[in-house]
Amino acid sequence: MLFDNFLMLCFYNNITFSFSARLTSSRSFSLFELLLCIMIISILSIPALKYFNNKILAIEQASQHIQMLQRKLQVISYESYLSKQNLQDFQLEAILHKAHTQSALFSFIRQGNTFTLIINNEYAQFSIEKSPDGYLHLTCNPNQKLCRKIYHRKYSK
């Protein structure tokens, strides 16, 4: 029994010594531990990056959709100016009807001569205004954050 206690005591001291020696000799993280931490952080950040990428993609697609609508409005305004006739309501109605869009990334909903752009929880109100020259313009209130994102050059880069 005394011999067993002696062996246990030696074994315990040896483990304690080797454990403490291992801790004191390694004062930094190993390359494997650092790579493992980086890998875990990158895996956990995938959903956040996907959300921001989808939001940026939605803003770009909505901006292109609005630019195409603006070009179509300018073309029919210019054609009516060249032909010296008033703007035909059926042409305008056809363009406005096609502008109504609901996709997975954004919604562009028509309500009369106004449109509502919705991306996630943000929205912007767009309206069609006629200038004194007879040209149609799609405008929004720059106080709305989404409107600034659509028309700002920084977001289109």
Tens of pLDDT, residues 77-132: 888 888 887 777 778 888 888 888 888 889 999 888 889 999 988 889 999 888 88
| Residue whose tokens read 């803003």 | 59
**Max CA pair span of the chain:** 116
Q: Measure the CA angle with vertex 44, ends 154 and 105; round to 5°.
A: 45
Q: What is the pLDDT of residue 8?
A: 53
Region 7-20: what's the mean pLDDT? 49
Tens of pLDDT, residues 24-54: 455 677 888 888 889 999 888 888 777 778 8
Q: Is residue 19 part of a domain?
A: no
Is the confidence at residue 62, as pLDDT, over 60?
yes
Q: Is residue 108 part of a domain?
A: yes
Q: Measure the CA angle with vertex 12, ends 10 and 16; round to 5°.
A: 115
Is the confidence at residue 156, as pLDDT, over 80?
no
Q: Is residue 118 part of a domain?
A: yes
Does the reported pTM lie above 0.85? no
* Full residue range of the structural domain in which residue 139 is found: 51-157
Q: Is residue 86 part of a domain?
A: yes
The answer to whether residues 97 and 111 touch, using CB atoms and an 8 Å cutoff, is: no
What's the total number of domains in the chain? 1
Q: Is residue 87 part of a domain?
A: yes
Q: Is residue 24 part of a domain?
A: no
Q: Is residue 2 part of a domain?
A: no
**Which residues lie across from 137 on neighbouring strands?**
129
